[in-house]
Amino acid sequence: MNKLNKISDLIGEDLLNFEDRLKLYTRTDNVFVAEMMEYILSNKGKLIRPIMVYLSARMHGTPNETTHTGAVLMELIHSSTLVHDDIVDEATLRRGKPSVNAVWDNKKAVLIGDYMFANAMYIATQKNEHKLFDIISPTIMKMSLGELIQLNSSIKYNFNENTYFEIIENKTASLLATCCEIGAFSTGSDEKQTEQIKKMGLLCGMAFQIKDDILDYSSQEITGKISGNDIIERKVTLPLIGALKNSDKRNAENVLQYWKNGKDDNYLISLVSNFVKENKGIEYASEVMYKYHKLAKEQIKSIGNNEAAKAMQEIIDFVVERRS
């Protein structure tokens, strides 16, 4: 966490403003909704997305009301998608705590996720931040598209690497790119500068999701999530794709046969995890991840070299070094 602590020193006041506004904008008189919102927002994680909004804003200016509003919108949208993701994945843990659907049920979890989406859009309109609405709306569509492609790929057992990249660009990288775009827009970066910062966010987001997919092969004690969940859900991720490329045909066919027809989840996790380990799937995915990491850092250098740009490089390093 040292890297994040250093960054917090630079934007500590920004994050305090963010926390104050998040509480203010999500306040409700409905006790039940307030309880659910408190549960979700108290488990926010590392605040990578608001941090990227603020650092992008500081590359060419000083954060302002639009920046703060944008940071809140990004966190609300991100949190709501996590609630919906856990329903789709039938997950029972989120960051080491019971997921919303596990504490309440799927119906309530769907509705609170919808409520948070609507809350974000309401904030944008009430603050007359119509440009933020214009920036964010296509991203929400992309995130949904990514999830739909992934679900369809799982059903069809699609092991195509290009499809994998399409999925993670839409469902994860697009949101980080939008965080950077909003930050840059909020402090008056010109069109070229904004596109450069947005591209950096996209590259960082690709590395971020590949790291997440690598971590699915780590223990629950390390990540705070049930390991092997992607395997149970038949999500085709880069470590498995890499292992299939490196494996001999007979071993690959053995794994694919059980992937398609096997019923014992624990055996499947063991089979696939060992297969990925033996055929260097983690190494394959890590190599690709570090390519995106390198491209993201090179993109930063083309943008600037102030304290915010240096801090953004620290964030990009943290993305690939983290253990959860």
Closest CA to 311 of 171, 204, 165: 204
The residue type of 182 is I
Q: 267 CB contacts (<8 Å, ≥6 apart)?
A: 258
The residue type of 292 is Y
CA–CA separation, 252 vs 243, rounded Å? 8
Domain ranges for the chain, please list them: 2-218+292-321
Question: Pairing mode, if any, of strands 97-98 and 93-94?
Answer: antiparallel
Task: Please tell me the pTM assigned to this model.
Answer: 0.92
Per-residue pLDDT tens for 298-310? 999 888 779 999 9
State the DSSP code for 171.
Answer: I
Using an 8 Å Cβ cutoff, are 72 and 123 in contact? yes
Confidence of residue 221 (pLDDT cuts 50, 70, 90): very low
CA–CA separation, 305 vs 194, rounded Å? 16
Number of H helices, E strands in the chain: 17, 2
What CATH number does the domain located at 2-218+292-321 have? 1.10.600.10
Confidence of residue 3 (pLDDT cuts 50, 70, 90): low
Per-residue pLDDT tens for 192-215? 999 999 999 999 999 999 999 999
